[in-house]
Amino acid sequence: MHKSAQLRSLQRLQDAGAFISYNPFTMSTARKPAAAETATAAARKKPARRALQLVSRDPAAQLAAWCDELGELDKELIEIRPKLRRVETLRALIRERFADRAAAEGIETRGARYLVTLGPRAYESAVDYEAVQKHMGLRDYAAIARPTLKALEEILPPDVLARVVTHDYRGARPVKTFELASTISS
């Protein structure tokens, strides 16, 4: 059937009350009968028990469930953490091998069993801070400049650094899990 004829046919079915979904990529249709064509109304499904368990009314129980889930996931990740580090090392080695290639070039390389593709370098913006300072003036530039702590440590003498840098507990809390003795199976 020609594409325009197929679309006209679908339009007639929709006008008759049928629900039609059309996938233009596969040019296939799915037809759901109109309400008049069905003999009985569909029964309403009950929500899945697992979905109901996700919403706890007790905050302490919810926190306990999150702790247990985190512990189980951490336990599974212990086995693959060394592999993840090796994956990153191998990616870095492969990238380094093609460091001299054009930045916009895509690259393919092969092993005995796998093909590895390296896309073009990420498109990033860079700021010429000296040009910004010249354009804005030193005073206005100093008002918006935010040097890193590392840059300050490299430039300022220790006595000046002690006066301008404060130390306090502001960072993220590390989260670690430990299996409870009562749940460890021998």
Per-residue pLDDT for the chain (186 aa), expressed as one digit of tens each? 555 666 566 566 666 655 555 555 455 555 555 555 445 555 666 655 555 555 557 888 889 999 999 999 999 999 899 999 999 999 999 999 999 999 999 999 999 999 999 999 988 888 888 898 899 998 898 889 888 999 999 999 999 999 999 988 888 888 888 888 876 665
Q: Which helix (H) or strand (E) holds 11?
A: helix 3-15
How high is the pLDDT of residue 50? 58
Tokens representing residue 167 in the block: 């130390």
How high is the pLDDT of residue 16? 60
Q: How far apart are CA 59 and CA 65, in angstroms?
A: 10
Contact 92, 98 (CB under 8 A): no
Q: Where are the alpha helices (DSSP H) in 28-148?
A: 49-54, 59-78, 81-97, 129-136, 138-144
Residue found by looking up tokens 């996700």 in the block: 54
Contact 165, 177 (CB under 8 A): no
Q: What is the three-class DSSP state of 75?
A: helix
How high is the pLDDT of residue 145? 87
Work out whether the CA dihedral 79, 85, 89, 94 comes out positive or negative.
positive
How high is the pLDDT of residue 83? 93
How high is the pLDDT of residue 55? 56
Cα diameter, the chain: 86
How high is the pLDDT of residue 5? 65
Contact 9, 1 (CB under 8 A): yes
Q: What is the three-class DSSP state of 32?
A: strand
Contact 31, 20 (CB under 8 A): yes
Residues 6+ away with beta carbon under 8 Å from 153: 161
